[in-house]
A and B are shown apart, each in its own frame.
Chain A
Amino acid sequence: MTSNTRNTTVINIAITGVGGQGVLTLAEILAKSALEDSHNVRVGEIHGMAQRGGHVVCTVRIGENAKGPIIDPGTAHLVVGFEPVETLREIHLISKGGLVIMNSHVQYPVVVSMGKAEYPSKEEIHDALTMHTAKIIEFNAIELANNAGNSLSMNIVMLGAILASGIVPIKKETALHVVQTTFPSKFVDVNTKAFELGYQAISDSL
Chain B
Amino acid sequence: MTKPKELLEDAPGKTLLLLANEAIARGVLEAGVRLVALYPGTPSSEIGNNLTFMAPHIPNFYFEFSTNEKVALEVAGAAAVAGVRSMMVCKGPGLNVAADPFFSLAYVGVRGGMVIVVADDPSMWSSQNENDSRYYALMGNMPLMEPSDPAEAKSMLLEAYEFSEKVELPVLFRTTTRVNHTRAPVRFHEIRERPAQVEFEKEPYRFVPVPSVARLRHPWLLGQIAKAREISETSHLNFIEGTGDLGIITSGVAYTYVVEALDHLGMNAEILKLGITHPLPEQKLTDFLRMHERVVVVEELEPYLETHARRLAQLHRVEVDILGKEQGYFSRTMEYSPRIVIEALCKIADCNTCINWDEIDSRMKDMADLPPRPPLLCAGCPHRASYFAIRTATRGKAIYPSDIGCYTLSIAPPLETADILFDMGSSISTACGIAQVTGQDIVASVGDSTFFASVLPGLVNAVYNKHPVSLVVLDNRTTAMTGHQPHPGTGITGMQEQVEPLDVEDVAKGLGVKYVKTINPFDSLAGLVREVREMVKWVRENHEPAVLVSKAPCALLTAAEMRKTGEYPPRFYVDSDMCTACKRCLNRLSCPAMYLDSVTDKAVIDEPLCNYCGTCVAVCPQGAIKQEE
- A: residues with CB less than 8 A from B are 1-6, 8, 18-20, 25, 27-29, 31-32, 35, 40-55, 65, 67-70, 72-75, 85-86, 88-89, 91-92, 108-120, 128, 131-132, 151, 182
Q: What 14 additional pairs, Cβ within 8 angstroms, besides A53-B376, A72-B339?
A: A27-B183, A42-B183, A43-B182, A45-B181, A48-B482, A49-B375, A74-B357, A111-B371, A113-B595, A114-B583, A114-B586, A115-B587, A116-B413, A151-B608
Stretch of B260-268, B284-292, B422-430, B538-546 with 4 or more beta carbons under 8 angstroms from chain A: B260-268
- Pair B259/A89 contact, Cβ less than 8 Å: no
Q: In chain B, residues 79-111, which have Cβ atoms closer than 8 Å to a Cβ of chain A?
A: none
In the bound complex, CA of A42 to CA of B349 (Å)? 29
User: With A4-B265, A43-B17, A48-B481 known to touch, is A70 a contact of B374 (CB < 8 Å)?
Assistant: no
Select from chain A the residue with minimum beta-carbon distance to B338: A72
> Assuming A109-B373, A113-B595, A115-B586, is B185 touching A41 (CB within 8 A)?
yes
Contact A8 B17 (CB under 8 A): no
Q: Which residue of B lies closest to A119 (CB)?
A: B371
Q: What residues of B have a CB within 8 angstroms of the CB of A108 in the complex?
A: 595-596
Expressed in whole angstroms, the minimum distance between the Cβ of B565 and any Cβ of chain A is: 14
Residues of B361-396 at the interface with A, using a CB-CB cut-off of 8 Å, are 361, 363-364, 366-367, 370-379
> Nearest Cβ distance between residue A71 and chain B, in whole angstroms?
9
Known: A41-B185, A113-B594. A54 touches B587 (CB 8 A): no
Min Cβ gap B353→A in Å is 6
> With A31-B17, A46-B181, A70-B178 as given contacts, are A8 and B264 in contact (CB-CB < 8 Å)?
yes
Subset of 23 A-B contacts with CB under 8 Å: A4-B352, A8-B260, A35-B185, A42-B149, A45-B19, A45-B183, A50-B126, A53-B376, A54-B374, A65-B263, A67-B257, A72-B355, A74-B355, A74-B356, A74-B360, A85-B371, A92-B363, A108-B596, A112-B595, A113-B595, A114-B586, A114-B587, A117-B371
CA distance A49 to B402 in the complex (A): 16
Q: 0/1 per residue, B123-149, Cβ < 8 Å to A?
A: 001100000000000000000000001
B182 and A69 form a contact (CB under 8 A): yes
Listed residue (B264, B339, B378, B609) with the most chain A CB atoms within 10 angstroms of its CB: B264
- The complex places the Cα of A162 from the Cα of B260 at a distance, in Å, of 25
- In B393-416, which residues have CB < 8 Å from any A CB? 406, 409, 413-414
Q: Shortest distance in angstroms between A191's beta carbon and chain B's nearest beta carbon?
A: 13
Q: How far is the CA of A49 from the CA of B481 in the complex (A)?
A: 7
A50-B375, A52-B378, A131-B363 known; A2 and B351 CB under 8 Å? Answer: yes
Evaluate contact between B45 and A47: CB separation under 8 angstroms. yes
In the complex, whether B520 has a CB less than 8 A from a CB of chain A is: no
Residue of A nearest to B374 (CB): A54
Provide the bound-state CA to CA distance between A116 and B373, in Å.
12
The A-contacting residues of B in range 216-269, CB under 8 angstroms, are: 253, 256-257, 259-260, 263-267
B375 and A113 within 8 A (CB):
no
How distant is the Cα of A44 from the Cα of B253 in the complex, in angstroms? 12
Q: Are A48 and B367 in contact (CB under 8 A)?
A: no
| Pair A73/B126 contact, Cβ less than 8 Å | no
Docked-complex contact A111 and B376, CB < 8 angstroms: no
Contact A92 B360, beta carbon cutoff 8 Å: yes
A74 to B414, alpha carbons, bound, how many Å?
Answer: 37
Q: List, in ascending order, chain A residues with CB within 8 A of B17's CB.
A: 28, 31-32, 35, 41, 43
Instruction: Report chain B residues within 8 Å CB of A115.
Output: 583, 586-587, 596
CB-defined contacts of B183 to chain A, threshold 8 Å: 27-28, 31, 41-43, 45, 69
B531 to chain A: closest CB distance in Å?
Answer: 26
Judge if B350 is at the interface, Cβ distance under 8 Å.
yes
Q: Which of A41, A70, A89, A116 contacts B367 (CB 8 A)?
A: A89
> Whose C-beta in chain B lies nearest to the C-beta of A54?
B375
Q: Which of B43, B353, B608 contacts A48 (CB 8 A)?
A: B43
> Quick one: closest A residue to B2, CB to CB?
A28
Measured CA separation A111–B370 after assembly (Å): 11
Does the CB pair B354–A113 fall under 8 Å? Answer: no
B449 in the interface (beta carbon within 8 A): no
Q: Which A residues touch B378, using CB under 8 A?
A: 52-53
Q: Which 8 A-B pairs have the closest CB atoms?
A: A48-B126, A68-B256, A54-B375, A52-B375, A43-B183, A48-B42, A67-B256, A117-B371
Residue of B nearest to A29 (CB): B1
* Complexed CA–CA distance, A48 and B480 (Å): 10
Q: Is B370 a contact of A120 with CB atoms below 8 Å? A: yes
A88 to B43, CA, bound (A): 27
CA distance A131 to B377 in the complex (A): 34
Q: How far is the CB of B339 from chain A (nearest CB, A)?
A: 4
B342 to nearest A CB, angstroms? 8
